[in-house]
Amino acid sequence: MRKIIVAIFTSAVIGALLGTPAAVASLPDPSAPVKVAAVSRPDDGSGYVWQVFCKSGLSYSFIPASQFPLSPRFEEVQKPQTGDIAWWPEYVAIYVAQNASVISSAGYTRVAALGGEQPRYFRMKVAPGEGPGASAPSCDRSFL
């Protein structure tokens, strides 16, 4: 499933860039070594989701996609709303209810277009006094 999602997102980004020669020239060299953080695979979507939530004032301790359902900060929901997390065992993205799509660092993709296993959805538990604009977030995470 993760390979399908990554392939669709990658093709969407490349397709958007093909009309701009300068952008194509700036694509990373696929043969170059990739630095992998110890806490997360770079393509599991968790870093993007964490950054979006943190910068919105909804901070939580960073967790990789594989550990997402275990977090006490999120609860599974049956009827997703915009801003909920779409979760697959190896990938997470932010759900957009208006067009039944997910958004990741690569852009938007309709959930139906992904095929395969349907995601489970999780919603952040927000305590009183928390929320967008509640405080200036520090969105740096430690890799220790």
Q: Which of 6-10, 42-46, 103-107 has the highest mean pLDDT?
A: 103-107
Mean pLDDT of 58-82: 92
Q: Any idea what DSSP says for residue 26?
A: T
Sorting pLDDT into bands at 50, 70 and 90, what band is 142?
low
Considering only residues 14 and 108, tell me which one the structure prediction assigns the higher pLDDT.
108
The backbone torsions φ and ψ at residue 87, rounded to the nearest 5 degrees and listed phi first, read: -125, 130
Q: Which helix (H) or strand (E) holds 104?
A: strand 101-104
C-alpha span between 23 and 1 (Å, rounded): 28
C-alpha span between 54 and 10 (Å, rounded): 25
Q: Please report the pLDDT score of residue 60 as a whole number.
A: 85
pTM of the model: 0.65
Say yes or no to pLDDT of 46 above 80: yes
Q: Which of 122, 104, 120 is nearest to 5 (CA)?
A: 104
SS3 107: strand
Q: Please report the pLDDT score of residue 101 as a whole number.
A: 94
Question: What is the C-alpha R_g of the chain?
Answer: 16
